[in-house]
Structure 1
């Protein structure tokens, strides 16, 4: 019996040892699983943050597409704003459905917008880049404005064939000669850049050359080219047919508000568009933007010169209501965190507007007597600074009078009977100013004359 008892004791010891070892393995496994679980939680949290960042980036791109869609659909400011609101709702819903599959909640909400103007010439089949009032060797498309989404498409066979070794600097002193390539001039009041678009037919290329300066002492920045029958030039994105064009990146050195001018606009056929942070006054396209551009082109002389824009009608260049930028709020919710952010949406923008916007400016012949005018205006500042406004009348003798409050005003004796009057509104905020000038008559004329006609 003693032998049997000893065997049982050894068996129990082996069993107890095995159980202890098993418990040790389980404990080790629990520790390892706990570490893995903790790492997974951290990874999911980090991933959630990354996903939130990715969502915010994609949401801004979606909002930008909605903005371009609404501007392209056209119509009044109310119509554009309505189309954008609907489009951003559709974008938010699409993102929401996709995120719900992964157990996340996302949304994009429209908060605010800033009105602007869209300049476009998209006549079917293309047209040259001359203004609506006929032939011109050069004309300003936009003046004293921040510009975004500026792009054009040109037909290679319509461009001047200047070969492979053309130097834009050689043009100075040769204006009116045989070398007259279509050129876009950018001016910020201090610096000037020229962008010539021409052809090299020997290689079936469209070439884009950038030149810094406005005379022969300037500097050629560089030239990029693309083999194509048509070429799309994106000025802010610095691309030609979707490919990087490094010389166009030099335009980033320009300041905020620009004058944009076309030289030799009959040397190219195609289409173009841009969005500027000035306004028109409704679907008739009369308003601060058109008046400022006409003034830049004609120097108040719009009675004889007409307008460079065709109202809102096709064909030809026209200026239509648009949204310059918008602000959206993005919200991302997961099991681990919630992220909410505000984003400004302004696709293909080179610089952010800082100058005040003159949203409306109306000068009408007064009804109470000779030499009276009814003045009204609206101006805002993108930075929220208070805006001060002055309206100055200059008669044909050069006498002036300035008013700072809207309403019915009576010109002083020195100005009476000496019309028409060049009327300039200047809005100032945060140390920056913007002006719009128009020419108006006194009694005997119904409504404004000159700019606009």
Structure 2
């Protein structure tokens, strides 16, 4: 420390006006040298201070990372569990919007209780999902559970399934290559997703058979195309998710999964409509979940209510089976609630929106 004091005293002496005279080159040289030394000492001290600060912040960050990971795990757990609750409740065809919403809320409340108990015991965290104040987006599940042509209830192959909706998710087809038109014959089964306004953008998907395999072809609005082929004779096509599942034709077991690489209707803004073309050329089962934005559905059996002028025709059993026709049931499209994760180290609060298998472009 004495060396630093001496150095500062020398600097003060050199800065004395009485010593600064024109022509005194030696003193000027000394001033330059000492000034350089002072600058060097200053930089060293600043570097030490900054390194100490960065070290402290890094240690604190490392200390909170596990806690932040726990909060994210809680969020992801609820997302997955609530998604399962929604899908299982929708599958049970409760018969009314209020009934399916009550089922979802009751099950979600029980899931929240069980997950909270687990995190309190294992992590010492207070966690909560405010299911009682959750917002529910109403919707329909449209499905065809019997293997038959992809036509409407009158057997028409070119028809509009969804007239107008802002959001559609979980669009899936289960098909066998022998029930699809041959690639290149000019009559592919086509699904068009198209905006409802003037000069609409359109997204198109085709299902055909090619060399005893299921072939999915997708064309984006900008002309970009994607093709995806099954490795077996049967497939489940997750059209909105962009995956093709190759199935064992005998058991339906998933044997292979292919990421087809496309995004669902990225340039198509809602509200949009969904049309089937050449539905009489292909057969299988299918399902989709549609947000109820008041647009309505054409050509399907509506088992729960009269909607858009449609109702269950005579002789069709809508007690959960829908006969051999495509039909709709009331459903929960999405659930939105506030989730909280609190410990002595973190206070995490956010909005959780659960819409299973919803494409990124409509989330």
Q: TM-score, normalised by structure 1?
A: 0.55
Of 211, 216, 220 in structure 1, the residue corresponding to residue 219 of structure 2 is 211
Structure 2 residue aligned with 1:184: 191
Of 68, 74, 84 in structure 2, the residue corresponding to residue 65 of structure 1 is 84
The aligned runs of 1:216-295 (5 Å cut-off) are 219=223, 221-241=225-245, 242-246=257-261, 248-249=262-263, 251-278=265-292, 284-287=304-307, 290-291=308-309
Q: 2: distance between equivalents of 1:226 and 1:343?
A: 35
Shift, 1:139, TM fit: 0.7
CA offsets, 1:76-129, max 9 Å, x none? 112211210122123223322432223223232321212111111112xx2221
1:154 aligns with 2:162: no
Of 145, 166, 173 in structure 2, the residue corresponding to residue 122 of structure 1 is 145
Q: 2: distance between equivalents of 1:225 and 1:122?
A: 24
The aligned runs of 1:368-447 (5 Å cut-off) are none
Q: Match of 2:130, SS?
A: strand
Describe the shift of the 1:335–1:115 C-alpha distance in structure 2 as closer, same or farther (beyond 3 A): same
1:193 aligns with 2:222: no
Structure 1 residue aligned with 2:249: none
Describe the shift of the 1:37–1:192 C-alpha distance in structure 2 as closer, same or farther (beyond 3 A): closer
Describe the shift of the 1:139–1:39 C-alpha distance in structure 2 as closer, same or farther (beyond 3 A): closer
Q: 2: distance between equivalents of 1:73 and 1:47?
A: 39
Q: 1: distance between equivalents of 2:264 and 2:135?
A: 32
The aligned runs of 1:21-32 (5 Å cut-off) are none
Of 98, 123, 127 in structure 2, the residue corresponding to residue 106 of structure 1 is 127
Q: Match of 1:251, SS?
A: coil
Q: 2: distance between equivalents of 1:138 and 1:219?
A: 23
Q: TM-score, normalised by structure 2?
A: 0.68
Segments of structure 2 that go 5 or more residues without pairing to the other structure are 1-54, 246-256
Q: Match of 1:285, SS?
A: coil
Q: 1: distance between equivalents of 2:265 and 2:317?
A: 29
Segments of structure 1 that go 5 or more residues without pairing to the other structure are 1-35, 167-177, 295-301, 354-453
Shift, 1:352, TM fit: 4.2
Q: 2: distance between equivalents of 1:44 and 1:339?
A: 16
Structure 2 residue aligned with 1:398: none
CA offsets, 1:376-429, max 9 Å, x none? xxxxxxxxxxxxxxxxxxxxxxxxxxxxxxxxxxxxxxxxxxxxxxxxxxxxxx
Asked if 2 retains the 8 angstrom alpha-carbon contact of 1:188 and 1:257, the reply is: yes
The structure whose RCO (Cα within 8 Å, separation 6+) is larger is 2
Describe the shift of the 1:209–1:39 C-alpha distance in structure 2 as closer, same or farther (beyond 3 A): closer
Aligned residues: 279
Q: 2: distance between equivalents of 1:310 and 1:219?
A: 43
